[in-house]
Chains A and B, each alone.
Chain A
Amino acid sequence: MGPDVAFLSEMLNSQLAFPLSQEDPAAITSIPGFLQAVRSEPRFAMHLADIHEEAQQLGKDLLSEEYDDGNPGQLVERALDELGQKLAPGPPLDEYGRRAPTIRSLLHDMHHPFVLPFPVASGEATGRISVLLVELEKLANLAPPILQLETSGHETMVARNKKVQWRARLRTRADPSVWAAAAGGR
């Protein structure tokens, strides 16, 4: 394998030693330096490019799951149109007017990538489908009886989104909920 492997391996160890040895949480600021050092060595840079390729492929797989082979937004769009037609003038319709453009822009942003939140255990919504669902929930508070027409489809989508996100987190192997679920025999 040659002496260069030993040298490169040693270089990796020394780059990692600093962020690992720091007790202070401010050690997080050493991450840019760590990454830049690894990238600056061409024999590591090519492997980082490979990992990006793998992320790309993984993103494609997850995206197709998230989109359910094409059109997950159709259900949301139908519910949104129906709400717009049936809401009474006044505050509910004003609120609808404020939220609808966000939802429509998310609906048409079909190239939005699959998004995983970091830290993975956070409950904050990121990504097109997750944000759409949160927005829809808020609108549901305006006109519950109307939205109930679409409830079964909506629930399916919520469940699907949860499953896809969970599968993604399973792949990270760092989300506490994954370990907890595994321990509980989920």
Chain B
Amino acid sequence: MRVFVLGLTLAFGLLRLEAVESLLLSGTPYAESHPKDERAALRVEVVRSAAGLITAAPGGFLSGGVKSGLRPIVEDVRQVAQLLVLDLRRRLYTVRSRLGVLQRFKARCEWHDRERLRRLADDAQQAKRFAEHVLRDELTRYLFDQGLNPLAEAVLGASSRADVFDPSLGPSFYVEAKQYRDRAAVDPRLRAAFRQALDTVGNIPGSGYTIDEAFIVLFRRSGPRVLLPTEPFMAEGLRWHFVLINIAEASEDASQNTETPVEYSAESLREILIEVGVERSLPVPPRAHA
């Protein structure tokens, strides 16, 4: 609850700081949120009586009247700056801690658990089950052990299934796990991950849940390494993070792997994401009758 109130406070607070900034730098006494459409934006205006005081401040000598007039404004600005720093730190720790947990899982898999995971995936495949499901279940168990409350295969809406979804904390996060064994599978798997993530997130509005981050976890069982961006990017209202977990045999690793890595920049992944989004919005062609 406290975090919720803080969040609301911040929206106004940041705009208040920005209104002061734009008044000092350009003489424009307002700041507003960046409107995505023509309607609706939140604007904070420095009122006329305060604008004069603030613009007088850079002028060097301040009269006693200006100083006393400025005092409550400066107090407010200081309080807002403190709240902003507090909230930025909270957001920073939340994002970094989620990412940190996944990075730790990556290290655990790659350093200590490669063979077992590879065997699990191989056995599942031989038993005509999805290899990615057993790997995903490993990840879910790990997240649970780290104190999170993940649900695997959570049904959201009529047919969307989230690979891993933690509804216990809002805004929540979502994990889509995929695996590959050869170069040809990489692109389709990433597209499938985006498609499933978008389907799931599309079912969220109005459900009482919110998701602000998606983690795409790609297990490499064999084939070329995939180089994924280390910093997240924003798209479709989510912040997307990418983690490659290498569980390939040692003989296929490092210097012994002669295959050229497949590299994805943040921009190329964003383009794929947009393409997938467009494909989803197209009507499904009717199936041909046998």
List the interface of chain A (C-beta within 8 A of B): 1-2, 4-5, 8-9, 12-13, 15-16, 19-20, 24-29, 31-32, 34-35, 38, 42-44, 46-56, 58-60, 62-63, 110-111, 113-122, 124, 126-127, 168, 171-174
- The answer to whether A115 touches B16 (Cβ under 8 A) is no
Q: Which listed residue (A9, A35, A59) contacts B40, Cβ 8 A?
A: A59
B58-90 CB contacts (< 8 Å) to partner A: 58, 62, 66-67, 70-74, 76-82, 84-85, 87-89
Of all A-B residue pairs in the complex, the 5 with the closest CB atoms, nearest first, are A59-B42, A55-B33, A25-B70, A55-B11, A113-B41
| Total residues of chain B contacting the partner, CB 8 A | 72
Q: Which listed residue (B46, B80, B89) contacts A174, Cβ 8 A?
A: B80
Asked if B119 lies at the interface with its beta carbon under 8 angstroms from chain A, I say no
- The answer to whether A119 touches B50 (Cβ under 8 A) is yes
Question: With A25-B70, A56-B40 in contact, do A35 and B96 touch (Cβ < 8 Å)?
Answer: no
Chain A residues in 8 Å Cβ range of B30? 115
- The answer to whether A63 touches B57 (Cβ under 8 A) is no
Chain B residues in 8 Å Cβ range of A38? 84, 88
Q: Which listed residue (B8, B14, B39, B45) contacts A117, Cβ 8 A?
A: B45
Asked if B5 lies at the interface with its beta carbon under 8 angstroms from chain A, I say yes
- The answer to whether A8 touches B47 (Cβ under 8 A) is no
- The answer to whether B12 touches A171 (Cβ under 8 A) is yes
Chain A residues in 8 Å Cβ range of B80? 174
Chain B residues in 8 Å Cβ range of A4? 96
- The answer to whether B34 touches A56 (Cβ under 8 A) is yes
Query: How far is A107 from B84 in the complex, measured between Cα atoms in Å?
Result: 35
Chain A residues in 8 Å Cβ range of B50? 118-119, 122
B1-46 CB contacts (< 8 Å) to partner A: 5, 7-21, 24-25, 30, 32-36, 38-46
Query: How far is A54 from B41 in the complex, measured between Cα atoms in Å?
Result: 10
B58, B79, B82, B91 — which one has the most chain A CB atoms within 10 A of its CB? B91
Stretch of B141-149, B231-239, B269-277 lying at the A interface: B231-239
Per-position binary interface string of chain B over residues 100-113, scored 1 when its CB falls under 8 Å from any chain A CB and 0 otherwise: 10010000000000
- The answer to whether B82 touches A126 (Cβ under 8 A) is no
- The answer to whether A171 touches B8 (Cβ under 8 A) is yes
Interface residues of chain B: helix, strand, loop or mixed (majority): helix
Asked if B97 lies at the interface with its beta carbon under 8 angstroms from chain A, I say yes
Asked if B214 lies at the interface with its beta carbon under 8 angstroms from chain A, I say no
**Nearest CB in chain A: distance from B63 CB, A:** 11
- The answer to whether A54 touches B7 (Cβ under 8 A) is yes
**Nearest CB in chain B: distance from A38 CB, A:** 7
Chain B residues in 8 Å Cβ range of A32? 21, 24-25
- The answer to whether A28 touches B77 (Cβ under 8 A) is yes
> Can you spell out 8 A-B residue pairs with CB atoms less than 8 angstroms apart?
A20-B78, A24-B67, A26-B57, A31-B24, A54-B8, A55-B12, A114-B41, A116-B45
Give B237's nearest chain A residue, CB to CB.
A53
- The answer to whether A8 touches B11 (Cβ under 8 A) is no
Chain B residues in 8 Å Cβ range of A20? 78, 81-82
Query: How far is A8 from B7 in the complex, measured between Cα atoms in Å?
Result: 20
Asked if B54 lies at the interface with its beta carbon under 8 angstroms from chain A, I say yes
